[in-house]
Amino acid sequence: MLQSFRKYQALQNDYLLFDAIDAPLSFTPAQIVAMCHRRTGVGADGILIVSRDAAGAFRMDIHNNDGTEAAMCGNGLRCVGKFLADSGRIAPGDRCEVLTKSGPRHVTVLEHGPDVSRVIAGLGRPRVLDDRLVLNDLAFVHVDVGNPHIVHFFEATAPRELAPGWNLQMALSLGPELEHALEGGVNVGFAVPTGPAELDLVVWERGAGFTQACGTGATAAVTAALHLGHVGKSPIRVLQNGGIVDVTLDDDGFAILDGPAHFVFAGTLPD
């Protein structure tokens, strides 16, 4: 039997999305690793399984490309929003609640097209847990966005075009070690404030490694930057290797992630 899937990406953070709304669906960690492998499989940062609970609410389950389960994913949530609009289950402009292991979140498709849509995701209220965490002689801010993040800030003392290179070098060299620095693992971000409303960011993701972008990582970086006074009032534009996303924290501290989500292609895999 063949299993249908749809591939989506948001800021080149790519996922294989499986529709389990009408029938239950699950995969073993080995199957997930095989599907996500970029040379011998389809290739993805992870998989998303969309289903409904007993009350009819939509649910998103997230699995990293190493087969582990994730509690929350901002870009994945925006991909789910596009899928729900693509499949006619929600209309553009409608706010839709989606259940996650971190609790209920919401998505709204603001501008909808067959290939790309602008999707906003409500990521709850991020919390700064520790603003004086020191690891490997570097200062980090520990932030909870429904999943754990630590963020280090570089001073913006070099030309702006060099900033992503600093971040990437640090993420690739320190990310694999720092991912395991806290119990249960943690996502590791390296950010450069490049203006009063802008950050450059690279994230090493727990369970996925270096990715082109991270939605909860962008939210964590903005939360930490606002807390430390590195940026002014949101919205804050976050530049990552995969593109640009805007993060807004409202007066009550709730975060909104705003950016494009793309349908890539559809296919089938052997069961």
For the cut 50, the answer to whether the pLDDT of residue 207 exceeds it is yes
Q: What is the rounded average pLDDT for all residues in the chain?
A: 94
Q: Does one domain contain both 97 and 209? A: no
**Residue 258 lies inside a defined structural domain of this protein:** no
Whole-number pLDDT of residue 103: 96
**Residue 259 lies inside a defined structural domain of this protein:** no
- Give 234's pLDDT tier (boundaries 50, 70, 90): confident
Q: Tell me the pLDDT tens digit for each residue of 77-113.
A: 999 999 999 999 999 999 999 999 999 999 999 999 9
Q: Which is nearest to 115 in space by CA: 242, 262, 11, 17?
A: 262
pLDDT, average across residues 135-148: 96
**Residue 262 lies inside a defined structural domain of this protein:** no
High-pLDDT (> 90) share of the chain, %: 89
68 to each of 19, 33, 63, 185, how far by Cα in Å? 19, 9, 6, 11
- Give the range of the structural domain holding residue 92, as residue numbers without chain letter: 2-112
Alpha carbon 49 to chain centroid, angstroms:
15
Structural domains counted in the chain: 2
For the cut 60, the answer to whether the pLDDT of residue 168 exceeds it is yes
- Residue 176 sits in a domain whose CATH number is 3.10.310.10
**Residue 119 lies inside a defined structural domain of this protein:** no
The pTM is what?
0.95
pLDDT, average across residues 7-17: 98
Q: Does one domain contain both 147 and 242? A: yes
Whole-number pLDDT of residue 246: 98
Whole-number pLDDT of residue 170: 78
Whole-number pLDDT of residue 29: 97
- Give 2's pLDDT tier (boundaries 50, 70, 90): confident
Known catalytic residues are 73, 214
More confident residue, 156 or 126: 126
For the cut 80, the answer to whether the pLDDT of residue 167 exceeds it is no
For the cut 70, the answer to whether the pLDDT of residue 161 exceeds it is no
Q: Does one domain contain both 88 and 165? A: no
Tell me which of 82, 112, 142 is where a domain ends.
112
Q: Where are the alpha helices (DSSP H) in 63-162?
A: 74-86
Q: Does one domain contain both 243 and 208? A: yes
Whole-number pLDDT of residue 270: 85
Whole-number pLDDT of residue 146: 97
For the cut 60, the answer to whether the pLDDT of residue 162 exceeds it is no
- Give 157's pLDDT tier (boundaries 50, 70, 90): very low
pLDDT, average across residues 140-166: 76
Q: Does one domain contain both 96 and 189? A: no
In the block, tokens 């402009």 appear at 93
Give the single-character DSSP code of 163: H
Query: What residues contact residue 266 under an 8 Å CB cut-off, 6+ apart?
Result: 4, 5, 6, 7
Integer-rounded Cα Rg, in Å, for the chain is 18
Nearest 5°: phi and psi at 204? -95, 115
For the cut 70, the answer to whether the pLDDT of residue 156 exceeds it is no
Q: Does one domain contain both 155 and 86? A: no
Q: Tell me the pLDDT tens digit for each residue of 19-39.
A: 999 999 999 999 999 999 999
**Residue 196 lies inside a defined structural domain of this protein:** yes
